[in-house]
Amino acid sequence: MIGRAAKNFYGTLSARQNFHTIVSKEVNKALVNQQPVLALESTIITHGLPNPENLHMAQSVEDICRSNGVTPATIAVMRGSPCIGISSEELSELSNGSKSYVKISRRDLAPTIQQKLTGGTTVSGTMVLADQHNIPVFATGGIGGVHRGGEDTLDVSADLTELGRTPVAVVCAGVKSILDIAKTLEYLETQGVTVATFGETRDFPAFFTAKSGLLSHTNVRTAKEAAEMIYVNKQLNLGSGIVIAVPIPEQFSADGLEIENAIQTALKEANDADVAGNLITPFILQRVSELTYGRSLKTNLALVRNNVHVGSQIALELSHIQRLDQSRKVELKSKGETKDNKVLVVGAVNVDILCTKHEETTVGKDLAQGNIQHVMGGVGRNVAECLAKQDIKSTLISVVGDDNLGRLALECCKESGMDTTRIVAQPGASTPVAQLTIKDGDVLEGICNFSAHSHLVPNLIPEADIASSRFVVLDCDTPVQTGIYVAESCSKLSVPLILEPTAPLKFKQFVAAGILQFTSIVTPNVTELAVITDDKNDFAIPSLLKPIPKDISQILPQMLQCLSKMSRKTQFRSVLTTLGEKGVLYCQLSEDNILQIVHLPKAPEKPHIKSSSGAGDSFLGGFIANICKGNGIEQCLKGGTFCAFKSLKSHETISGMISDDGLAAKTIKSWNELGWNLYVFYEGEFKFEK
């Protein structure tokens, strides 16, 4: 799958006739796989530092990025080609001190490319190219600003206007005190640029010192807080950038104070010598280096490396947030070609006889008066019907007997809208029947004959059917060996598998056979969940988990233990546990170890329960249907709850009311107005202890 950034890049190449943007293989791979990337400027290499310090600095900051799990993207223009990420040879070339290299801001990009020149990009030029390739975070030493006397000379850095129109976050040490910091902050405010100090206070740093005597608009205490602010800024489409101002580390503060004193001395000398205009900055920089005996260079390098370290952490956190946003959509597409929303269901078809006694009786007495209903059942059949009623193509693979009940079952399945061409009428077998005794809507006891399920063998399930499906639902009424065949085929064909336990003992058999390593989503209730967890249950709950009710917190370790049995052979791992009166709890772990734990309470409206026998299957069908429609996790869980609610109010296992999308939307909206909210308990990185 090509990420959005990569799509934009590839989409622009064909339109360019005069030049070619080069994205390095390392950066391109990160963009395609939506991994964190940090932009780095190159003017500091070509114009900011002497050789060999410039090369050592460039190499070290790229190493800092990689050590933090972030891909560095040093941006430059090489012989007329904008480069997003450059090779070690190109770093060496840029550091050789050639006088032919140009300094490239926004205004210089077009002529530099047109004349096929080589040069380093400034903050402004780097921001432009980073934004064009969807790299949202950029680290540098310091930004330009309003020069002293700028109110008369209009000497204002292009960095400031770029921040006002390009949504890239610039991590820096503020601006040097040789500039007019107060006017720089005023100018940034006019441009609508958010300025935030990285740390516990709002003190705006002055590059070599932690405090300039002025305040930022706000502060962010951690890389995660900074990433959250950047994410919100992008979501709002404000179009402006953000300055993340990082104070000098404490271990360099003494050197920083000495350098600041040297700057003030140099400023006074410049004033006494009537040095003005564009001569001020080079004069001051030269004098500061002389006055500090070169220590200003050492501290400057330390500041740049610290900024890159902080920028890498922010880029990493932002990448996590972006992946979490995508995970809310419960993206279940396979890694191959895009498939239609066809769901393959492998499982049981039953005829259920529901018996409700109106009076008690004893042995030898007359039959008890009551109510008897024949309804279609079977977990697989129920899920397939629920999907079909919501306009999701579903094919059911199952077995019935070649008898009158079997013919009736086939006819009912056809009428429900599902594809029944894979249901086999097995000669000599009896169509599965379950007689269930119902009281107050709950099943008290039952008698069944499910012997026909043994005829659901692997050769009835063509791999082509699995390969062409969006994903596969498997119920544990299927023979274990058939279930393992389906699971292994799903893994081989990169088709996500959803496993519905159906009953504790059957589920335990499947788990013992190793099916969870091939499973993407498993949907146990609390009883089914308990049969696969052991007494040790020492799975760590994330320390950042928000306070949750005690009874739910007792279930979470079991869910994590279940999750641990699901291997990385799947694109994601999810456990969806129904909690009865307490709603549902959902845990999802992505393949890059981002864990999400959410809880949806029960619907705020209490149903008059007629039968609960199909509620769980209805929930699963509603959940899957909403996934197929591209809805986020909250809507998926609420859609499943709506289907279960309607099932509880009906004697039919799958209520005919769920086919009305308008009713579903209206009902869920009314429940939302009653305060029916999804609670996110945890979103972040999580790894199981080995």
Q: Which residue has the tokens 């099932």?
A: 647
For 550-580, give one letter per residue: b (16+ CB within 10 A) or e.
Answer: eebeebbbbbbbbbebbeebbebbbbbbbbe
Q: Are 140 and 170 in contact (CB under 8 A)?
A: yes
Rg (CA), the chain: 32
Cα–Cα distance between 314 and 244 in angstroms, integer?
A: 10
The Cα 5–Cα 27 span in angstroms is 11
Query: Are 109 and 77 a contacting pair, CB within 8 Å?
Result: yes
- The C-alpha atoms of residue 490 and residue 485 are separated, in whole angstroms, by 9
Is residue 26 annotated as a catalytic residue, yes or no? no
Q: How far is CA 137 from CA 73, 230, 242, in A?
A: 10, 9, 9
3-state helix, strand, coil in the chain (%, to 5): 45, 20, 35
Structure tokens that stand for 645 in this block: 């609610």
Report how far residue 91's alpha carbon sits from residue 102's, in angstroms, rounded to the nearest whole number: 15
Pairing of strands 471-475, 342-346: parallel
Integer Cα distance of 614 and 416 in angstroms: 15
Token pair, residue 581, equals: 């009166």
The per-type count for the chain, helices as H runs and strands as E runs, is: 24, 25
**Residue 166 CB partners (closer than 8 Å, separation 6+):** 127, 128, 131, 239, 240, 241
Rounded to whole angstroms, the Cα distance separating 309 from 150 reads: 33
Active site residue 41: yes
**Which of the 8 DSSP states describes residue 18?**
S
CB 126 within 8 A of CB 75: yes
CA 132 to chain centre: 22
Determine the 3-state secondary structure of 496 from DSSP.
coil
Cis peptide before 547 (omega within 30 of 0): no
| Residue where the block lists tokens 């503060």 | 253
Q: Which of 41, 90, 258, 652 is catalytic?
A: 41
Selecting among 93, 176, 393, 610, the annotated active-site residue is: 176
Per-residue tokens: 654 = 């799958």
Assigned token pair, 681: 């308990």
> In sequence order, what are the residues at sequence separation of 6 or more whose Cβ sits closer than 8 angstroms to the Cβ of residue 519?
487, 497, 498, 499, 566, 570, 573
- Using alpha carbons, list the distances in angstroms from residue 374 to 163, 442, 610, 652: 69, 16, 14, 9
Q: Within 368-426, where are the H helices?
A: 379-389, 404-416
Looking up tokens 């601006």 gives: 175
Residues near 15 by beta carbon (within 8 Å), at least 6 away in sequence? none
Residues 653 and 354: beta-carbon distance below 8 Å: no
DSSP 445-477: EEEEE-GGGGG--GGGS-HHHHHTSSEEEEETT
Q: Are strands 71-78 and 81-84 parallel, antiparallel or unpaired?
A: antiparallel
Spatial separation of the C-alpha atoms in residues 568 and 258, rounded to whole Å: 54
From CA 381, how far away is CA 475, in angstroms rounded? Answer: 10
H-helix or E-strand spanning residue 241: none
3-class DSSP state for residue 15?
coil
Give the active site residues: 41, 176
